[in-house]
């Protein structure tokens, strides 16, 4: 996907055609996420979920490990807008597909790599407020034991631990979805997103056009985090302990 594919009225269509051709070539060579060199770096349970969330900019040689429940819609929109303001009005799901470009092994190894992490306890609470209260997900997973009951946070976390932990990328530990060593990444945080994206966009796209927030599924997770009890916190520690330790290291 070159810069020339992202100008003019038909830019998204042309760029998507290039993206589709590239990804078909990659998928022809690598039959599954288990054999694709990028996702093969991940734990087996995370490979399928990560495949559709890869975000790569070939012209900038920039790889973004896009993580669920970590402001990834805002990040993709902001980078796209800073690169080509004409993409600002493209639907966010379309943008995510547009930049779901699969790098070849050498491209990935040579790429600059970025990711953005979210405070793990807040992220777990956000997943409960979003997916745990969604009738479709309740019907699929029966977090509270039936098809309709909204689960408590404790019921939701127990269900993840005992049954559904690896069924959905929204629940996976953040570090499990980052290909390769975390030391290779420039790591930002949701809590300090704007200055991080300003630096990234200026470095790789030559300008920063401002934060483009996408808040379609915003939850009150920061406030609810303050209300969790010891049992709920213990379950979050059990599920996301590695994320918690690493995130705390960023604050030192």
C-alpha span between 70 and 215 (Å, rounded): 12
Q: What does the DSSP 8-state code read for residue 162?
A: I
Asked which of 8-17, 59-68, 119-128, 200-209 is least confident by mean pLDDT, the reply is 8-17
Contact call for residues 57 and 99 (beta carbons, < 8 A): yes
Give this prediction's pTM: 0.90
pLDDT at 86: 79
pLDDT at 170: 86
pLDDT at 129: 93
Residue with more model confidence, 218 or 45: 45
Is the per-residue pLDDT at 66 higher than 50? yes
Confidence tier at 46 by pLDDT (50, 70, 90) = very high
Name the strand (E) or helix (H) holding 89: none
List, for residues 167-216, the tens digit of each pLDDT value: 678 889 999 999 999 999 999 999 999 999 999 999 999 999 999 887 65
**Cα 203 to chain centroid, rounded:** 21
Among 107-111, 171-175, 216-220, the range of highest mean pLDDT: 107-111
CA distances 210 to 80, 81, 85, 121, 140, Å, are: 11, 8, 11, 28, 39
Q: Which residue matches tokens 């009890």? A: 229
Q: What average pLDDT does range 149-172 have in this prediction?
A: 86
pLDDT at 208: 96
Residue with more model confidence, 85 or 4: 85
pLDDT at 163: 80
C-alpha span between 100 and 213 (Å, rounded): 20
Is the per-residue pLDDT at 217 higher than 70? no
Q: What average pLDDT does range 42-60 have in this prediction?
A: 94
Can you tell me whether residue 187 is helix, strand or coil? strand
pLDDT at 216: 54
For the record, the structure tokens of 12 come out as: 């998204």
Asked which of 4-13, 160-169, 217-226 is least confident by mean pLDDT, the reply is 4-13
pLDDT at 169: 84
pLDDT at 1: 46
Helices of type H across the chain: 11-29, 47-51, 72-83, 92-98, 105-110, 120-130, 135-141, 153-159, 193-205, 221-225, 230-250
Q: What share of the chain has pLDDT > 90, as a percent? A: 75
Q: What average pLDDT does range 109-131 have in this prediction?
A: 95
């Amino acid at each position: 996907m070159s810069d020339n594919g992202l100008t003019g009225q038909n830019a998204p269509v042309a760029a998507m055609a290039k993206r589709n051709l590239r990804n078909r070539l990659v998928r022809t060579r690598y039959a599954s996420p288990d054999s694709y060199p990028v996702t093969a770096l991940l734990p087996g349970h995370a490979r399928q979920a990560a495949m559709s969330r890869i975000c790569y900019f070939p012209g900038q040689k920039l790889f973004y490990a896009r993580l669920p429940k970590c402001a990834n819609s805002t990040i993709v929109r902001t980078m796209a807008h800073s690169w080509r303001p004409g993409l600002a009005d493209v639907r966010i799901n379309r943008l995510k597909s547009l930049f779901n470009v699969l790098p070849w092994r050498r491209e990935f190894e040579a790429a600059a790599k970025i990711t953005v992490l979210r405070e793990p306890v807040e992220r777990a609470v956000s997943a409960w407020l979003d997916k745990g209260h969604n009738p479709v997900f309740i019907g699929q997973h029966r977090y509270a034991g039936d098809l309709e009951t909204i689960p408590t946070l404790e019921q939701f976390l127990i269900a993840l631990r005992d049954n559904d932990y690896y069924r959905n990328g929204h629940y996976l530990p953040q570090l499990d979805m980052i290909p390769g060593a975390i030391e290779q990444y420039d790591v930002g945080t949701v809590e300090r997103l704007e200055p991080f994206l300003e630096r990234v966009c200026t470095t790789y796209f030559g300008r920063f056009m401002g934060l483009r927030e996408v808040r379609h599924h915003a939850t009150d997770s920061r406030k609810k985090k303050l209300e969790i009890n010891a049992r709920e916190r213990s379950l979050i520690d059990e599920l996301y302990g590695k994320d918690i330790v690493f995130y705390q290291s960023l604050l030192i």
